[in-house]
């Protein structure tokens, strides 16, 4: 993929049939996520191939299986990364279904939304608020929901400075959410690309600089959305005592892992600095993000491409090139 390959190919697939408790969704749009790239480049392994990627799916209910009461044909719904969880394990029972050992993902364990139709258990489908157009709702289903979860894990208190390393689909939503929830907290953005830094300032960042630049002050929490290790090491150095680094990445690249040899206990970890990863999302995260986005009139910055250009879209995500906010694929089913 990084060398410009085309790992995805179009295929004729039978329309899936909704089983007991499922809904069949006619896809309108599907957001593109860096995780899609992790799947096609093999950092994440699907249980079977070929698999249809895509886990930020918006469409309308086309048919329902037996005993589905919550959704009806024609309802506008979203499908997120969480396709199902067991509902019985200790994590599911404590509100952490994102950590369920039987967690099944959309677009990796199960076929996703780079397709005309997708099936999902009705209990894991999400009603889309009327205030959100399809293209605005799509990036909220992963970039937004995992961003919201990252911000929660950051345990920020209003007034404390927040840092964001990387400024892609998720961070541009987290910045807006943070400005809304913590109006007294300055947000500092680290991004390699000058256009991303400019975009961050437009959205209300108090400062935006390159990874190597010196920010105005240290931060109580930093959320990292980069695929690399260098920003992790420099973020640790910029945390206040007791500060938290939340890594929002399903996989990290091995390319610059050697930079971890420079990790110095006193400089990077001492003073109770913490590192935490954020894994998957719960249904509650997704629904909270959709409701809050509708209420605060959050407007994701979205660029639309055609489903037939999915390889081009993934290539752009791989190179971090020319994407302002989120990429969304138009599947062609829009009314």
Binding site for Zn ion (CB under 5 A): 33, 35, 85-86, 89, 92, 100, 142
Q: Please state the closest distance from residue 311 (CB atom) to Zn ion, in A.
A: 18
Other Cβ atoms within 10 Å of 205 Cβ, number: 25
Give the number of C-alpha atoms closer than 13 A to the C-alpha of residue 37, restricted to the C-beta side: 26
* Cβ distance to Zn ion smaller for residue 46 or 100: 100
* Cβ distance to Zn ion smaller for residue 37 or 233: 37
Nearest to 218 by CA among 243, 192, 200: 243
* Cβ distance to Zn ion smaller for residue 35 or 225: 35
d(CA 87, CA 284): 14
d(CA 206, CA 200): 9
| CA distances from residue 199 to 135, 168, 174, 204 in whole angstroms, order as listed | 20, 10, 13, 9
d(CA 83, CA 226): 25
Tell me if the bond preceding 22 is cis, omega within 30° of 0: no
Q: Please state the closest distance from residue 269 (CB atom) to Zn ion, in A.
A: 29
Q: Please state the closest distance from residue 96 (CB atom) to Zn ion, in A.
A: 9
* Cβ distance to Zn ion smaller for residue 8 or 233: 8
* Cβ distance to Zn ion smaller for residue 142 or 177: 142
What are φ and ψ of residue 224, in 5° steps?
-105, 125
Q: Please state the closest distance from residue 123 (CB atom) to Zn ion, in A.
A: 13
Q: Please state the closest distance from residue 36 (CB atom) to Zn ion, in A.
A: 7
Residues 131 and 80: beta-carbon distance below 8 Å: no
* Cβ distance to Zn ion smaller for residue 29 or 33: 33
* Cβ distance to Zn ion smaller for residue 82 or 236: 82
* Cβ distance to Zn ion smaller for residue 160 or 311: 311
7 Cβ contact partners less than 8 Å away, ≥ 6 residues apart: 1, 40, 41, 311, 314
* Cβ distance to Zn ion smaller for residue 33 or 58: 33
Other Cβ atoms within 10 Å of 215 Cβ, number: 18
d(CA 80, CA 54): 9
Q: Please state the closest distance from residue 35 (CB atom) to Zn ion, in A.
A: 4
d(CA 272, CA 265): 11
Paired with 27 in beta bridges are 59
Q: Please state the closest distance from residue 292 (CB atom) to Zn ion, in A.
A: 18
Q: Residue 269 carries which DSSP code?
A: I
Q: How many residues does the chain have?
A: 335
Q: Please state the closest distance from residue 223 (CB atom) to Zn ion, in A.
A: 15
Q: Please state the closest distance from residue 142 (CB atom) to Zn ion, in A.
A: 3
């Amino acid at each position: 993929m990084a060398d410009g390959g085309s790992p995805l190919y179009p295929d004729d697939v039978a329309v899936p049939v909704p089983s007991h408790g499922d809904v069949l969704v006619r896809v309108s749009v599907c957001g593109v996520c860096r995780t899609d790239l992790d799947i096609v480049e093999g950092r994440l392994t699907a249980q079977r191939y070929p698999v249809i990627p895509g886990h930020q799916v918006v469409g309308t209910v086309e048919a329902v299986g037996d005993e589905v009461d919550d959704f009806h044909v024609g309802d506008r719904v979203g499908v997120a990364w969480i396709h199902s969880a067991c509902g019985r394990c200790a994590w599911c029972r404590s509100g952490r279904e994102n950590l369920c050992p039987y967690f099944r993902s959309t677009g990796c364990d199960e076929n996703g939304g780079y397709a005309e139709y997708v099936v999902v258990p009705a209990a894991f489908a999400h009603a889309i608020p009327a205030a959100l157009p399809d293209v605005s709702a799509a990036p909220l289903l992963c970039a937004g929901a995992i961003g919201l979860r990252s911000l929660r894990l950051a345990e920020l208190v209003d007034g404390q400075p927040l840092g964001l390393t990387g400024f892609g689909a998720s961070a541009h939503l987290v910045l807006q959410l943070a400005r809304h929830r913590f109006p007294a907290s300055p947000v500092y953005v680290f991004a390699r690309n000058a256009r991303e830094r400019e975009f961050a300032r437009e959205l209300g960042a108090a400062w935006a600089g390159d990874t190597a630049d010196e920010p105005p002050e240290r931060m109580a929490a930093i959320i990292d959305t980069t695929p690399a290790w260098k920003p992790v090491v420099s973020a640790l150095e910029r945390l206040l005592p007791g500060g938290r680094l939340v890594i929002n990445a399903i996989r990290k690249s091995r390319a610059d892992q050697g930079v971890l040899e420079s990790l110095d206990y006193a400089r990077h970890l001492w003073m109770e600095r913490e590192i935490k990863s954020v894994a998957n999302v719960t249904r509650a995260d997704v629904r909270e993000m959709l409701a809050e986005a509708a209420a605060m009139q959050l407007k994701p910055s979205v660029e639309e491409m055609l489903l037939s250009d999915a390889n081009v879209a993934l290539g752009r995500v791989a190179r971090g090139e020319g994407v302002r906010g989120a990429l969304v694929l138009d599947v062609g089913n829009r009314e």
